[in-house]
Amino acid sequence: MSENAENRFPESTAIKGERRQIARQEYTTRKKLLDLLRAGGSKTIPEVADALGISPHEATWWMMGYARYGYIRATEEVTEDGYYRYAIVEGK
């Protein structure tokens, strides 16, 4: 198994169509998102979407996956608009 295949979400091998195309972007998107959080601190989903040039829906999909697998976590901070801030998990 290639190094990239070992780092992918397990679900990405079982999906087809448009969702499969998005899943193929997982490794690159994870790197961009983690680099963004390392450089700029915690961010909300809309802030991540704007910074990465993707829709808030797509940013939510990525970020919930990264939270599920322990790359990022929701902080205690909530913006006045009701958005949680997400931060990188130490060591990731």
- Cα-Cα-Cα-Cα dihedral sign, residues 33, 38, 44, 49: negative
Q: Which residues contact 63 (CB under 8 A, 6 or more apart)?
A: 33, 45, 48, 72, 86
Domains: count for the chain: 1
**Domain ranges, residue 17:** 3-88
Predicted confidence (pLDDT) per residue in 4-51, tens digit: 555 666 655 566 677 677 677 888 899 999 999 999 899 999 999 999
Full-prediction pTM beyond 0.75? no
CATH label of the domain that carries residue 84? 1.10.10.10
